[in-house]
Structure 1
Amino acid sequence: MAIQFDNRAQKKKSSRLDPSSPGEKQPTTVSGLLVRILCLGIIAALAVMLTPALISTGQWAFLAVIWGIVAVLVVVYATRRFVPAKYLVPGTLLLVLFVIYPIIVTFQLSSTNYGDGTRTTKEVSVSRIIANSAVQADGARTFNLSVGSEGSSTGGPYTFLLVDESTGDAFAGSPDGLRELDPGSVTVDNDVVTAADGYTILSRVEVNELSQGEGPLVGFAVPTDNGVITQQGFRAVELSSPLVYDEATDTITNTQTGVDYSPVQVGDRKYFTSADGERLSDISWGENVGFGNYIRAFTDPAISGDFLGIFAWTLIFAVLSVATTFALGLFLATVLNDDRVKGQRAFRSTLLLPYAIPAFISLLVWSSFFNPEFGLINSTTGLGIDWLGDPFWAKVAVLLANLWLGFPYMFLVCTGALQAIPSDLKEAASIDGATGLTNFRKITFPLLLVAVAPLLVSSFAFNFNNFGAIFLLTEGGPFSPDNPTAGGTDILISYTYRLAFGGGAQQIGFASAISVMLFILTGILAAIQFRATKKLEEY
């Protein structure tokens, strides 16, 4: 008994000395502790740097999320507790930031009319409408202008920092109105505000860039008791306008003519329009439209008319792309998996070359191959096929190019799956009299499908929305003169892209609604496929 006690004591003592002993907390090394402190310090410092900008712009939700992430990281990694969370937190954060959050933002945008001409609020749009009709009156005030941002220089919100040329008083002007600044809160140099508390002063180059095209300073107006203040180069002038906006009735009245203009819905946006249909301005604004974008997708004849045909081709394109690439990849993997084949490594390396070349380069090269006059395919074979001009042959060309791009991936997947199948099963089947084809059909192929079925589903989902293959090769064409909107090779994603962005104005809200519907449709199809592949579990 004494010997047994000594042995147990010795084992207990040795287990305490053994760092790999289970149940014992490992001591933290100095280098590991320093790395942990450094990483947490960097994350906390970034949060501190972002806090003033978020507070100044009122982004309270983002502020709470950022500091919540910092708190979680500190609690998880600054202590020895929550060991499983140390491995789960990074993946969970990346999932939320790069998957869940974009989906939420896309769904939120889909309920708005956000796009070209509707990027501003209604208040800003009203100020621009009034400013565009304003004229300079005798004795109107003039100002030296600088522009300040309460956030980033490119994100705003922006404020006119004005110095009255006659009095030298400093003002801050925004679409909400004009307010005088405390002389102690601003620095004025040569009658221009060069610094102000709470504002980042924009350079003249930045002001020029923001004042061009559809920049946020185009039409920027500051309402006053006498009219509005608008920008004229690096000066500002007070103008008087015959238009007056009444917030209570939501109307703009022309005091000279007495005509009232009310918001009237036109498509996905509103314009101030008189009772007889005269539009006051082409300026609109962004607002929530609810499910209007989704209703438009099913009721607009320009969209729903070609939807079923394009949807059918999208399914055919996705199915054939997966089927052809998988068949070719499996055939090559099976042939090169035979030990009797010499130079397997060289052949496998050669077959992976299409996978190593960027897809956009390969597609551009293939588009030159399909040129009907001097393309490689017609020149080599003597054919006179108009590959990209005929709808049928354009579809064949897209499938051929996608086969070239996709089979190396399937070759890799099938090679790994074949090498993972135990050779004992095939040897046992051969002893029982199974031929090579029977062996492959009854044993190898079912076992291979168990491994690659989820990858086939993901490949289907990818090709269902394979915008790059269509856009770079055919741009959705060919197009017929009587229907220039829907092309012969358009799939749903390229068709909706053209509808949303191919016209005169970008319709980001509508495009987001289409993206949400494609997301749901792809998810449903993938769920059906996953359910079907569960039958393979019996193998």
Structure 2
Amino acid sequence: MTTTQAPAHRSRSSSIPTILGKVLLLGATLAIAIWIIPALIALQQWLWVAVVLFAAIGIFVLYTTKRFIPGKYIFPGTFFLVVFLIAPIVLTFAYSFTNFGDGTRGSKEQAVSAIMGNSVQQAPDSPRYGLSVATAGDPAAGPYTFFLVDPEDQKVYQGSLEQDLTPVPAGDVTVEGGRVTEAQGFTILTMPQINAAGREIQQVSVKVDEDSAIRMLTANQAFEGTATMVYDEEADTFTNTTSGAVYTVQKVGNTDYFVDEAGNRLPQSWLQGVGGANYMRLFTDGKIAGQFLKAFGWTLVFAAGSVLSTFLVGFALALVLNDERMKSRRFYRSVLLMPYAIPAFIAILMWSNFYNRDFGLINQVLHLHINWLGDPTWAKAAVLLTNLWMGFPYMFIVCTGALQALPGDVMEAAKIDGASRLQTTMRVVMPLLLVAVSPLLVASFAFNFNNFNAIQLLTEGGPFPAGEYTRGGTDILISMIYRIAFGGSGADFGFASAVSVALFVLTGVIAALQFRFTSVLEDVN
């Protein structure tokens, strides 16, 4: 009887941690879903609402039943695949059909509030408030809410671009020194955080009524002023109360703006669908299409040159150090792996100093006066040379492993047939080695095709021709896209997304062709 009860006892004991684990997992999932879904709905992030909702439902379905056993192991990987790969691709593709960029990020209601808020003028007798900037999201990205303390009666108010001025119950906030220091559900920004996000916070205005709004004066003070731009919701127009000019919605390019009779438009617009206008601009605008083709050509040269040079150097070194007659092979292999052990960004920054025309190590040691980073041709050579330094240890490791895995009887047969060492290397070793390493060469090509760090950290895409800011002499496609999206002339995420989609298609086509070519090598076996 004792022997039959022991397994049941152990089963009950082992099931307790399992049940507790499920309760904690499901409780945490439910809490996160309840917390994050309302915030995403408020931000109108419908894709992420769907992802969180389906993930929460999937977790409850999978981990509350004894069915779908394989799904319990597949789900975590699938979830992270969707979040970090599929969703960004979908968002990029969706944004490529919009005008998303600086001044066109929010809704029309937000644009109207921003236009009115930016027109608020301070008068000598304008009321002032103790200001605390807060957010329920990321302190660096917002959205931002103003907590305002009236210095006369110490009443607390809150508001934002989306929320008009609203009284706050005393129990929901803590007031010290005439400012809100704590607010339930919000993070109060510190001075460094306010300075970092100053541009976005300056755009925030809190509507008081149709003619007045509150804006930030200093980091801890706000003022209530009169708006010179008044919006008529029925007519969908803005009127400048100072000049009398009326602004109506008109199409400028592929985006709607508020424009007056003289053709002057207000700077703020809103997120709109533009169809295939971004793709038409990419392929029909002669200047942009030309820059794209030039960047694409250099990208191919850079990726192919990097793969070829690193492979040849790595293969040669692996071949030499694989010879048993070579002494101290372990020491030499350890030395050759040192560039691979140094973080890439440190190596690139170090090499950028080597290329200094006046004080760089290369010019001083070789007694040269080459403008490495100022001349387009020499800058390309510098990029390839730096990438060779960082990439050959990887190819050395790969080739060393492949050489040691080759069957020795094949080489012996070649020697018996009278083949020289060079002939054995080129006609026997090389084809067999390519069968093993060709997929890695394809992967290395794809990596260098989008090797943003090697360009941005070394040359920042330069040198730039006079008057050209879209593409520099060493810009590959990915660094050109980065400049379009985050350039000094203003971000254009919609167009950058269209270029990214084109780059994604190009990379896929090239990779498919490469894999088709490498499949031919399998006939060697």
Establish whether residue 352 from structure 1 lines up as the match of residue 337 from structure 2: yes
Q: Is the 8 A contact 1:144 1:192 kept in 2?
A: yes
Moved more, 314-323 or 496-505: 496-505
From 335, 339, 357, give the equivalent of 2:320.
335
Establish whether residue 54 from structure 1 lines up as the match of residue 37 from structure 2: yes
Task: Quickly say closer, same or farther: Cα 1:57–1:371, change in 2 above 3 A.
Answer: closer
- Give the match for residue 480 of structure 1: 465
Moved more, 141-150 or 107-116: 141-150
Task: Quickly say closer, same or farther: Cα 1:32–1:449, change in 2 above 3 A.
Answer: farther
From 262, 275, 287, give the equivalent of 2:248.
262
From 251, 266, 277, give the equivalent of 2:237.
251
Establish whether residue 459 from structure 1 lines up as the match of residue 463 from structure 2: no
- Give the match for residue 322 of structure 1: 307
Q: Is the 8 A contact 2:118 2:203 kept in 1?
A: no
Shift of 1:459: 0.9
- Letter of the structure 2 residue corresponding to residue 293 of structure 1: N
1:355-374 equivalence runs, <5 A: 355-374=340-359
- Give the match for residue 425 of structure 1: 410
Report the secondary structure of 1:493's partner residue. helix
- Letter of the structure 2 residue corresponding to residue 335 of structure 1: V
Moved more, 286-295 or 419-428: 286-295
- For structure 1, the residue ranges without an aligned partner over 5 or more in a row are 1-26
- Counterparts of 1:381 and 1:176 in 2: how far apart (Å)? 63
From 297, 308, 312, give the equivalent of 1:312.
297
- Letter of the structure 2 residue corresponding to residue 221 of structure 1: V
1:52-451 equivalence runs, <5 A: 52-58=35-41, 62=48, 65-66=51-52, 68-73=54-59, 76=62, 82-134=68-120, 149=135, 156-159=142-145, 173-175=159-161, 178=164, 200-203=185-188, 205=190, 209=194, 213-216=198-201, 218-222=203-207, 224-225=209-210, 227-231=212-216, 239-241=225-227, 243-254=229-240, 258-266=244-252, 269-279=255-265, 281-451=266-436
Task: Quickly say closer, same or farther: Cα 1:251–1:451, change in 2 above 3 A.
Answer: same
Report the secondary structure of 1:535's partner residue. helix
- Give the match for residue 515 of structure 1: 500
Report the secondary structure of 1:271's partner residue. strand
Q: Is the 8 A contact 1:163 1:171 kept in 2?
A: yes
Q: Cα deviations across residues 112-158 of structure 1 (Å, max 9, x unaligned)?
A: 33333333332122123223434579999877766665556666555
Moved more, 138-147 or 264-273: 138-147
Identity %: 47
* RMSD between aligned residues: 4.0
Aligned pair count reads 511
- Counterparts of 2:22 and 2:242 in 1: how far apart (Å)? 65
Shift of 1:358: 1.4
Q: Compare CA radii of gyration and give the structure with the larger one.
A: 1
Moved more, 458-467 or 246-255: 246-255
Task: Quickly say closer, same or farther: Cα 1:69–1:126, change in 2 above 3 A.
Answer: closer
Shift of 1:457: 0.8
1:3-82 equivalence runs, <5 A: 34=17, 37-38=20-21, 41=24, 44-45=27-28, 47-49=30-32, 51-58=34-41, 62=48, 65-66=51-52, 68-73=54-59, 76=62, 82=68
Task: Quickly say closer, same or farther: Cα 1:325–1:261, change in 2 above 3 A.
Answer: same
TM-score by length of 2: 0.82
- Give the match for residue 493 of structure 1: 478
Q: Is the 8 A contact 2:101 2:494 kept in 1?
A: yes
Moved more, 108-117 or 314-323: 108-117
Q: Is the 8 A contact 1:480 1:487 kept in 2?
A: yes
Q: Is the 8 A contact 1:209 1:215 kept in 2?
A: no
- Counterparts of 1:276 and 1:471 in 2: how far apart (Å)? 43
Shift of 1:530: 0.9
Moved more, 167-176 or 188-197: 188-197
Report the secondary structure of 1:244's partner residue. strand
Q: Is the 8 A contact 2:462 2:473 kept in 1?
A: yes
Q: Cα deviations across residues 25-65 of structure 1 (Å, max 9, x unaligned)?
A: xx989779737954872574265145224325526754553
Q: Is the 8 A contact 1:212 1:218 kept in 2?
A: no
- Letter of the structure 1 residue corresponding to residue 93 of structure 2: F
Q: Is the 8 A contact 1:177 1:224 kept in 2?
A: no
Task: Quickly say closer, same or farther: Cα 1:296–1:216, change in 2 above 3 A.
Answer: farther
Task: Quickly say closer, same or farther: Cα 1:50–1:382, change in 2 above 3 A.
Answer: same
Shift of 1:410: 0.7
Shift of 1:341: 2.0
- Counterparts of 1:257 and 1:488 in 2: how far apart (Å)? 48
Shift of 1:320: 1.3
- Letter of the structure 2 residue corresponding to residue 476 of structure 1: G
Shift of 1:451: 1.4
- Counterparts of 1:513 and 1:296 in 2: how far apart (Å)? 10
- Give the match for residue 535 of structure 1: 520
Moved more, 492-501 or 100-109: 492-501
Q: Cα deviations across residues 352-390 of structure 1 (Å, max 9, x unaligned)?
A: 111111122222222233333443333333444333333
Shift of 1:315: 1.1
Q: Is the 8 A contact 1:159 1:172 kept in 2?
A: yes
- For structure 2, the residue ranges without an aligned partner over 5 or more in a row are 1-9
